[in-house]
Amino acid sequence: YLILPHLSDPVIIITVAISILSFVITALLIPQTKDLNIKANLFGRDLNKGEQGKKMQVPESMGIVPGTTWVVTVCLLQVLVLSISPSNAKTMEWNAGLFSSCFMLFLGFADDVLELRWRYKLILPCLAALPLLTAYHGLTTIVVPKPFRSIIGSIPFLDWLSVTDNSDVIASGVITILELGILYRVYMLLMAIFCSNTINILAGINGLEAGQTFVIACAVLVHNLIELDGEFRDSHLFSLIYIVPFIATTLGLLCHNWYPSQVFVGDTFTYFAGMTLAVVGVLGHFSKTLMLFFIPQWLNFFISVPQLLFLHCPRHRIPKYNEKTKLLESSKNFTLLNAVLEITGPMSEENLCKVMMAIQIVSCAFGFYVRYHLSKLFY
């Protein structure tokens, strides 16, 4: 009931109409362009299909199509939507966000072509986040959750994070708002690195990269629609203009990437998707809510830490395909996919992806519950 009234809003109608077009364009363009990628040696082997998969060449880096379509759509929407509902104050920041997503798309494509080593991959989001970090002139404060207010107030060295609150409150040792200053940019950078890499490493079975992105983006859209009447309408409107075509183009890609994959998304897509989600979360000022939608990615990240940092990290950490049963089994690598297989037992690739989608949807629903119910206890 919070969402329905917005569906007659002209801004939403235009955004949805043009996004449907961008879905159709993406879905039609991918089969047209995939042979070009194979010709350019941009293809991969489907690793979960056994001997049969070794013979096939699946076009890689097809994220370039939804990525490019998304950039064009957002540019068009900005012209159309902002002429109806002007909100100029934030345009520059959001354009910087667009720039960061574009830059990430380019660097992701470069990574696919050059096959960079794992440690260099971490540098890419840092470079791509630069436009966002430099153009940002918004809030650099955070609201301190209730249980931490007096704890933070009693830590002496935090004084230099000049607190923008009235001095009586500070004198009583209770801090409600912290001015992070330059640290806020560090926080934005960490968001960009986290989002792009965690989506990229929760991967390896057909449909997973695009599927998780699609579900998270839908959750972001619902959050924006709920908040559209709130105090921060402008931020959520911008986020919406970015996220609706993002959902559309991701869905266009998913049509071809779902099991059995006709195309692979490539790091082109995973990095671009992570950066775009980070951009809307940061500029829309709902990054904590966004992090709640990333619960499966957090889990996979925590499970992966030993292998990423301390143990030997193989090139691929995907489940093991059993040629006889045609099912996937745990490969004992440290990933969420293997953890799920350890619990459920062997499963087909398609079912495993469906289970992962279910986990992602439940996580987002839980995220909403925390955001709109539990958070009242903390803020």
Q: Which spans of this chain sit near ligand UD1 (rule: CB under 6 A)?
A: 44-48, 60, 200-201, 203-206, 261, 264, 267, 313, 316-318
**DSSP secondary structure string for all residues of 290-309:** HHHHTHHHHHHHHHHHIIII
Q: Give the one entry of ligand UD1, Mg ion, none that residue 296 binds, where binding means its C-beta sits below a cut-off of 5 to 8 angstroms depending on kind.
A: none
The single-letter DSSP state of residue 260 is S
Position among 163, 267, 284, 341 found at the interface with Mg ion (CB under 5 A): 267
CB of 275 to ligand UD1, least distance (A): 15
61 within 8 A of 42, measured Cβ to Cβ:
yes
CB of 50 to ligand UD1, least distance (A): 11
Instruction: Determine the Cα–Cα distance for residues 285 and 239; give it in Å rounded to an integer.
Output: 10
Binding segment toward Mg ion, per CB under 5 A, in 90-98, 129-137, 269-277, 326-334? 269-277
Instruction: Determine the Cα–Cα distance for residues 129 and 115; give it in Å rounded to an integer.
Output: 21
* Residue 276 sits in the site that holds Mg ion (CB under 5 A): no
Instruction: Determine the Cα–Cα distance for residues 31 and 43; give it in Å rounded to an integer.
Output: 14
Output 37 or 261, the one with its CB closest to ligand UD1: 261
141-200 positions binding Mg ion, by CB under 5 A: 200
Instruction: Determine the Cα–Cα distance for residues 201 and 311; give it in Å rounded to an integer.
Output: 16
78 within 8 A of 18, measured Cβ to Cβ:
no
Q: For residue 87, with 0-12 CB atoms within 10 Å meaning exposed, 13-18 middle and 19 or more buried, which class applies?
A: middle
200-219 positions binding Mg ion, by CB under 5 A: 200
Output 124 or 132, the one with its CB closest to Mg ion: 124
CB of 51 to Mg ion, least distance (A): 24
CB of 206 to ligand UD1, least distance (A): 4
Q: Give the one entry of ligand UD1, Mg ion, none that residue 332 binds, where binding means its C-beta sits below a cut-off of 5 to 8 angstroms depending on kind.
A: none
Helices 295-305, 182-201: axis angle to 10 degrees equals 80
CB of 107 to ligand UD1, least distance (A): 13
Q: How many CB atoms lie within 10 A of CB 21?
A: 15
The residues of the shown chain that bind Mg ion, judged by CB under 5 A, are 200, 267, 270
